[in-house]
Structure 1
């Protein structure tokens, strides 16, 4: 255990987050998400995607120099449909990175982007469309550094 680190951040997950570079993605996906062979998969079975997102964003800055740095799937072919899991994701993203939109993308595009991510975090999330991709930003230098 470490002081100040969310206990959901397992050693493998902390290693992946620390190893990621600027503008690399991590996909946080539901329990039904198909993972490609060879992908860097980290499992958090029994943990919701929202709890995992909260833990990840407690240490991972989001990219702010691009139009989008957080993506979710379009549900039922309707980009305007906001499922409860989408509202939960949006609230968490906004709390950690105010003003960052949650961008809706086609499920096929989501799966392709998730498969290309630096890591895929498979959760125990059972809500359909319960996945989000976030892009790592930078930690600015300290004042006077």
Structure 2
């Protein structure tokens, strides 16, 4: 065990977070996301939800202050009658860990999949909320 590292962060995920460089992205994916199709590296955190993983990662992970939108979400598909309430939870978590946060970036569904294919890694979760996928851009300490 190490001090100060949230227990939800597996050794594999810790290694990935350490390997990532400035501008690299990581996806925290909900349970419906095609993680294995999109991810170069997939870390499974089954049994966990996106908010708790986001909270733990942001204890260790600097967000990119040079990027206009270092946190991006998948946009709701036009005509889909869904209001993603989980986004409010994300905003609270991010604001508690990143004082320069202003707003999310939004990416259309298929463009989000393409961005995920370019990400350093995808974290597969058991999150049941719809449109709960998030992309984080790493900054510098």
TM-score, length basis structure 1? 0.88
1:71–1:102 Cα contact (<8 Å) kept: yes
One of 109, 112, 124 as aligned partner of 1:110: 112
CA distance in 2, matches of 1:99, 1:106: 24
Q: Give the equivalent residue in structure 2 for 1:131.
A: 133
Alpha-carbon displacement from aligned partner over 1:60-102 (angstroms, at most 9, x marks no partner): 0000112111000111428xx8521111111111211123221
Unmatched runs of 5 consecutive residues or more in structure 2: none
Q: Give the equivalent residue in structure 2 for 1:27.
A: 27
Alpha-carbon displacement from aligned partner over 1:113-134 (angstroms, at most 9, x marks no partner): 1121000001110111111000
Displacement of 1:104: 1.6
TM-score, length basis structure 2? 0.90
Q: Give the equivalent residue in structure 2 for 1:77.
A: 78
Unmatched runs of 5 consecutive residues or more in structure 1: 140-145
2:40–2:117 Cα contact (<8 Å) kept: yes
The alignment of Structure 1 onto Structure 2 pairs a total of residues equal to 137
Q: CA RMSD in A?
A: 1.6
Q: Give the equivalent residue in structure 1 for 2:95.
A: 94
C-alpha distance 30-92 of structure 1, shift in aligned 2 (>3 A)? same
